[in-house]
Structure 1
Amino acid sequence: MPSPGVAAVDRALTILAAFEIEQTPLSLAELARRTGLYKSTLLRLMTSLQEFGYLVQLADGRYHLGPTPFRLGAVYQRANNLHDQVMPVLRQLVTAGTESASFHVRHDAKQRLCVFRVDSQHSTLDRVEAGMLLPLDRGAAGRIILAFDGEMGETSDEIRKNCIATSFGERDPDCAGLACPVFGPNGKLAGALSLSGPKPRFTKENIKAMSSLLLTAATRLTRSLGGSSELLEKISTSAPVESHSREMSRRARK
């Protein structure tokens, strides 16, 4: 479906999006292949993108993202006051011995953005980094976003009922994940708080412990963002979170 916007702007944004697939410098030929644009069109647009710092050309002739996207990302974080609210929660989860903790928001109709990430204390990790775009229809965080943004269906109904989504090998066959919603004002979904890592560590016992910690963390973050935590509190498991935290920390030290 054609975009209702300005064609030249759409093409320029398509060029920038080409760098999201793989964070390496790209040649003009590779950019043409990824965007479907003629090289002559690319060169005209990329002149403007370089002028405003969105792209830089390296000594070998290849192109990479410039400093402007990073600067705008920093502005986004400051404006939304998310960094100071989310990062302490992610660090506390990891300190308690969980898998790697992330916070995801919807990017568009098909993708989610990992906004923040804190790696676990384990030696092996899943391949997720802040700034990555990931599919909405695969992975626990994506399913949380779809469910609490109103997607219909039995799976989404169950997720809304339990406030927890699990994923085993959906996006990466060797990895698994847990996620739950975080709410902002007026009951609107602020994002998905998730824990992810190698699939063998997602045993039934670990999932139970991490789910309790995750729901407690999401409740705390929801309150700090001005949302109602009533649903999360209702769903939270009855087992004391402190005991889960001590047990997860003990396993992490092994």
Structure 2
Amino acid sequence: MAGGNRVERRTVTTKVLAILEAFEKSRGSLTLTEIAEVTGLPLSTAHRLVTELTNWGLLFRGAQGRYQLGIRLWELAQNAWRPLRETARPFIQDLFSLTGETAHLAVREGNEVLYIDRVYGSKRVPRASRVGGRLPMHATAVGKAILAFEESWVRSAYLDRQLEHRTPHTHVNPRLLAEELAQIREQGYATTLEEVRLGSCSIAVPIFHGRQVGAGLGLVMLSSQASTMIRHLPTLKGVAGQIEISTAHIPLEGFRGVSGATE
């Protein structure tokens, strides 16, 4: 280019994904102007792509001219992780019924855990995530349960990153976290206490697929129950074993996200 300047050219796909991602960050409806500002797209480009997405049903335009995610996108999303979710769902419901606590299943997606199913308890436990939501592995019990049994190079790469402080209680010292992961491998389960959200604690066990860790199964409860949550460990391990047997026919890729390698 003239003057030696190089301008990064964004593909249409990248622009469309940026628009969809804008709604994940906002968690609400957006005006066309707000979409353009968040994505860095020219208003004319944003208008053209948003109109196409709306025509496809991936976005919905309300009466006040604000846009939100469309029902078609939700329908498509239901196919993601379907084999694992549908197979594991009855067991997650059993886990909730047996413990009375919020039960969830998560897999590793890059440097985060992605929650693919959850059965909510009746207690008002502070919620840090939702089905389809992500959290740092080092701040959650399911994340630690997965990370502890990952290959050593995955753990090393993860601990070499800047670890996010979600609360004042989040474990972010790489050396101490490495020691904690070693203890988790030895004892077979992980716990957290107000590391991702004040007022809650959690306990989780890994779910294996062959000799590799595939997912994490956990319970979340009030932090006042932290001293007694270990009583749920036999139930957690029993249900995890049932899920392992029932999902043995699912390819390992069905347990892993698209960005399986640690970024």
Asked whether 1:18 is paired with 2:43, we answer no
The superposition leaves residues 111-159 of structure 1 with CA deviations (integer Å, 9 ceiling, x where unpaired) of: 322111101243x223243222223332112222333333133333322
Q: Kindly state the Cα deviation for residue 15 of structure 1 after the two structures are TM-superposed.
A: 1.8
Asked whether 1:177 is paired with 2:199, we answer no
CA spacing shift, 1:226–1:63, aligned 2, 3 Å: same
Which of the residues 74, 93, 103 maps onto 2:95? 93
CA contact (8 A) 2:102 2:119 kept: yes
- Matched AA of 1:126: P
Asked whether 1:74 is paired with 2:78, we answer yes
- Tell me the equivalent position of 1:143: 144
- Consecutive aligned runs of 4 or more in structure 1 exceeding 6 Å deviation: none
Which of the residues 53, 58, 73 maps onto 1:54? 58
1:69 & 1:49 partners in 2: Cα distance?
10
2:40 & 2:222 partners in 1: Cα distance?
36
Which of the residues 23, 31, 34 maps onto 2:35? 31
- Tell me the equivalent position of 2:247: 225
CA contact (8 A) 1:98 1:195 kept: no
- TM-score normalized with structure 1 length: 0.75
CA contact (8 A) 1:94 1:121 kept: no
CA spacing shift, 1:183–1:121, aligned 2, 3 Å: same
- Tell me the equivalent position of 2:230: 208
Asked whether 1:187 is paired with 2:188, we answer no
**What SS is found at the alignment partner of 1:115?**
strand
- Matched AA of 1:149: E
CA spacing shift, 1:34–1:106, aligned 2, 3 Å: farther
**What SS is found at the alignment partner of 1:145?**
helix
The superposition leaves residues 53-82 of structure 1 with CA deviations (integer Å, 9 ceiling, x where unpaired) of: 22111111111111222222222244xx22
1:85 & 1:125 partners in 2: Cα distance?
26
2:80 & 2:23 partners in 1: Cα distance?
19
Q: Kindly state the Cα deviation for residue 164 of structure 1 after the two structures are TM-superposed.
A: 1.1
- Tell me the equivalent position of 1:235: none
CA contact (8 A) 1:119 1:125 kept: no
Asked whether 1:125 is paired with 2:112, we answer no
- Tell me the equivalent position of 1:236: none
Percent identity, aligned pairs only, is 29
1:188 & 1:43 partners in 2: Cα distance?
46
- Tell me the equivalent position of 1:165: 190
CA spacing shift, 1:45–1:221, aligned 2, 3 Å: same
- TM-score normalized with structure 2 length: 0.73
CA contact (8 A) 2:104 2:118 kept: yes
Listed as ranges, the gaps of 5+ residues in structure 1 are 228-254
**What SS is found at the alignment partner of 1:96?**
helix
Higher-RCO chain (CA-CA 8 Å, sequence separation at least 6): 2
Q: Kindly state the Cα deviation for residue 93 of structure 1 after the two structures are TM-superposed.
A: 1.4
What's the Cα RMSD here? Answer: 2.3
Listed as ranges, the gaps of 5+ residues in structure 2 are 1-8, 157-177, 250-263
Aligned residues: 216
CA spacing shift, 1:8–1:136, aligned 2, 3 Å: farther
CA spacing shift, 1:49–1:163, aligned 2, 3 Å: farther
